[in-house]
């Protein structure tokens, strides 16, 4: 990893929502690991701000417990003690300007001069405007010497109109280059590796288009159900929770043109181009290109409306209308309570135009990017079966992160994202126009689903691979979901 690019000033990280789950599970273990790897700024301090009344000592104790439970790596008490000395806490209300005044005074005293500040919003998005207004009103966003940056957790809006409004509100006090909208999928090594597979090699790019690729499947299936988040999830559903952000982000990386550089603006320009090349669906198109479903028993879950029509599963067929992809279907699906946790991209190549071998044993080439678990990349191709005259068998070239880079080679995605925000690199964060363009694709689907109840809400068995309707979506095109074949590549080892 390159040497961190810091300006030498003290950096203060302020976490709003500091007494919450995200801080304990992800943010502090990630910041600690950056500290352990000597990647944090030389001089830094972390201020937690939250509703719970903690003293500094109680806050540190609470986070220490979280480290033991969630860090997933070994650490020494000595190192924790040094790290913990940089942790401070102040309680306050997000809507109370005087609490922000107190915070400003505490920071000024502790910083003893010019300093950088990273404000991390680990709070529900409804609180973003109040917090930013209060930071602004108390002069905390002014860049007089050090930089000021704000990290915003997802979801960014609940539809296009609310995302546009939220962008307007945050732009009142901040320039776009101070805003870091998080999508934790972009912090995943394997998601970044989509770009490296495509653009650090010469062999894939020439065939990465409509001339060679039959279709693309992106699956993000989850074995887990609602995990105590029913209150939130029932008002949101799978399209807002997984598609508007994570799945569309994966899609942009699979489909984008090579950017001129890895810089934030070049990369994000190309991503926006992909999203802009997808035509938002009409209600008639939503009826035939989408499947929405709920797992059986969902309505009996605690905190779920017994009449809820919130989908916990969706499958979509999308087309990208540009020279590279015209006519190539992208099938996307995600759901809760599915048979297996799998995040994978299947690139299904076309069949050879003609063949001298008996077709019944031949399968088209398939490239699978396993984003999680058993992270890696596999290429299925045909070989002559020994001791036959002209039969073929599918064989596999494979790369596993674990065998190539070691067991714990893959860091937590928040670690990379926090490092990038501290270093001012916004490449792996979503830009205002990108978020809005993504919403412009999701909005018409949501409207048709919610207003017209079209297509009808399907039902699937918990622990299955989703509803029959999702199979029909591909069967109508003479195709099928290929996860079993992809699993077979992994199972045969
Ligand atoms: C979150 C969603 O953004 O991503 C959750 O809100 C989902 O519902 C989670 O479970 C999945 O993340 P991962 O990293 O476990 O694939």
Residue 246 among the catalytic residues: yes
Residues 306 and 429 in one domain: yes
Which pLDDT belongs to residue 446? 97
Residue 493 pLDDT more than 80? no
Which pLDDT belongs to residue 360? 67
At 106, which helix (H) or strand (E)? helix 97-111
Tens of pLDDT along 247-267? 999 999 999 999 999 999 999
- Range 53-60 average pLDDT: 96
Residues 147 and 194 in one domain: no
Tokens read off for 83: 């790290």
Ligand 1 pocket, residues with Cβ under 6 angstroms: 222, 241, 343
Tens of pLDDT along 73-112? 889 999 999 999 999 999 999 999 999 999 999 999 999 9
Residues 380 and 238 in one domain: yes
**Biggest alpha carbon–alpha carbon distance for the chain:** 83
pTM for this prediction: 0.95
- Range 333-353 average pLDDT: 96
Residue having the nearest C-alpha atom to atom 6 of ligand 1: 241
CA of 33 to the centre of ligand 1 (A): 21
Residues 336 and 404 in one domain: yes
Is residue 168 situated within a structural domain?
A: no
Which pLDDT belongs to residue 2? 41
Note whether 269 and 350 are within 8 A (CB). no
Which pLDDT belongs to residue 3? 45
At 332, which helix (H) or strand (E)? strand 329-335
CATH number of the domain encompassing residue 79: 3.40.50.720
Residue having the nearest C-alpha atom to atom 14 of ligand 1: 185
- Range 126-150 average pLDDT: 95
- Range 424-449 average pLDDT: 97
Tens of pLDDT along 194-212? 999 999 999 999 999 999 9
Is residue 172 situated within a structural domain?
A: no
Q: Is the peptide bond before 141 cis (omega within 30 degrees of 0)?
A: no
Note whether 369 and 344 are within 8 A (CB). yes
Q: Which of 241, 335, 342 to mutate to test the pocket of ligand 1 (most atoms within 8 A of CB)?
A: 241
Lowest mean pLDDT among 238-247, 258-267, 359-368, 433-442: 359-368
CA of 348 to the centre of ligand 1 (A): 26
Q: What percent of the chain is modeled with pLDDT above 70?
A: 98
Q: What percent of the chain is modeled with pLDDT above 90?
A: 88
CATH number of the domain encompassing residue 465: 3.30.360.10
* Active-site residue, selected from the candidate residues 246, 266, 400, 452: 246
79-88: long-range pairs with CB below 8 Å, 24+: 79/35, 79/36, 80/32, 83/32, 83/35, 84/60, 86/44, 86/45, 86/46, 87/45, 87/46, 87/48, 87/56, 87/59, 87/60, 87/63, 88/45, 88/46, 88/47, 88/48, 88/56, 88/59
Residue having the nearest C-alpha atom to atom 4 of ligand 1: 242
Q: Which domain holds residue 142?
A: 4-153
Exposure string of 434-459, with b = 16+ CB inside 10 Å and e = fewer, is: bbbbbbbbbbbbbebbbeeebbebbe
Which pLDDT belongs to residue 144? 83
Q: Which of 153, 172, 205 is the last residue of a domain?
A: 153
The total of structural domains in the chain comes to 2
The Cα–Cα gap between 190 and 407 comes to 15
CA of 330 to the centre of ligand 1 (A): 21
Per DSSP, the residues of 180-207 read EE--GGGGSHHHHHHHHHHHS-SSSGGG
Residues 129 and 239 in one domain: no
Which pLDDT belongs to residue 305? 95
At 115, which helix (H) or strand (E)? strand 115-121
Is residue 171 situated within a structural domain?
A: no
Residue 389 pLDDT more than 90? no
CB-count exposure of residue 86 (10 Å: 0-12, 13-18, 19+): middle
**Using 50, 70 and 90 to split pLDDT, how confident is the model at 359?**
low
Residues 251 and 147 in one domain: no
Q: Which of 21, 184, 227 to mutate to test the pocket of ligand 1 (most atoms within 8 A of CB)?
A: 184
CA of 455 to the centre of ligand 1 (A): 25
């Amino acid at each position: 990893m390159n040497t961190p690019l810091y300006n030498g000033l003290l950096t203060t990280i302020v976490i709003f929502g500091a007494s919450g789950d995200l801080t304990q599970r992800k943010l502090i273990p990630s910041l600690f690991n950056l500290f352990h790897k000597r990647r944090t700024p030389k001089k830094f301090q972390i201020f937690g701000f939250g509703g719970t009344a903690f003293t500094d000592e109680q806050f540190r104790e609470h986070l220490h417990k979280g480290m033991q439970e969630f860090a997933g790596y070994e650490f020494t008490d000595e190192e924790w003690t040094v790290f913990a000395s940089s942790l401070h806490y102040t309680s306050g209300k997000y809507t109370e300007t005087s609490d922000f005044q107190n915070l400003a005074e505490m920071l000024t005293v502790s910083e003893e001069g010019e300093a950088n500040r990273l404000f991390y919003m680990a709070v529900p998005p409804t609180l973003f405007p109040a917090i930013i207004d209060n930071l602004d009103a108390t002069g905390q966003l002014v860049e007089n010497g050090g930089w000021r940056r704000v990290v915003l957790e997802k979801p960014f809006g609940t539809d296009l109109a609310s995302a546009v409004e939220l962008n307007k509100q945050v732009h009142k006090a901040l320039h776009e280059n101070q805003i870091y909208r998080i999508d934790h999928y972009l912090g995943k090594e394997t998601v970044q590796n989509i770009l490296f597979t495509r653009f650090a090699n010469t062999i894939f790019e020439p065939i990465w288009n409509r001339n060679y690729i039959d279709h693309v499947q992106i699956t993000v299936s989850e074995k887990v159900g609602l995990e105590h988040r029913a209150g939130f999830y029932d008002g949101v559903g799978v399209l807002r929770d997984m598609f508007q952000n994570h799945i569309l982000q994966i899609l942009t990386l699979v489909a984008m043109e090579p950017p001129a550089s890895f810089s934030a603006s070049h990369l994000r320009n190309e991503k926006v181009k992909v999203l802009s090349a997808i035509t938002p669906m009409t209600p008639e198109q939503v009826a035939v290109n989408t499947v929405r479903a709920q797992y059986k028993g969902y309505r009996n879950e605690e905190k779920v409306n017994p009449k809820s029509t919130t989908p916990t599963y969706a499958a979509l067929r999308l087309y990208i209308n540009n020279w590279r992809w015209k006519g190539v279907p992208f099938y996307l699906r995600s759901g809760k309570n599915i048979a297996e946790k799998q995040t994978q991209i299947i690139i299904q190549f076309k069949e050879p135009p003609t063949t001298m071998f008996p077709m019944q044993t031949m399968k088209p080439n398939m490239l699978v990017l396993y984003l999680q678990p058993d992270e890696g990349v596999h290429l299925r191709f045909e070989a002559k079966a020994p001791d036959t005259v002209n039969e073929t068998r599918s064989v596999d070239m494979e790369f596993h992160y674990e065998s190539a880079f070691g067991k714990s080679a893959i860091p937590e995605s928040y670690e990379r994202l926090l490092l990038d925000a501290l270093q001012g690199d916004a490449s792996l964060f979503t830009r205002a126009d990108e978020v809005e363009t993504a919403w412009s694709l999701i909005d018409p689907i949501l409207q048709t689903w919610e207003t017209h109840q079209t297509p009808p809400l399907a039902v699937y068995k918990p622990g299955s691979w989703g509803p029959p309707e999702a199979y029909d979506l591909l069967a109508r095109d003479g195709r099928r979901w290929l996860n079993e074949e992809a699993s077979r590549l992994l199972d045969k080892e």
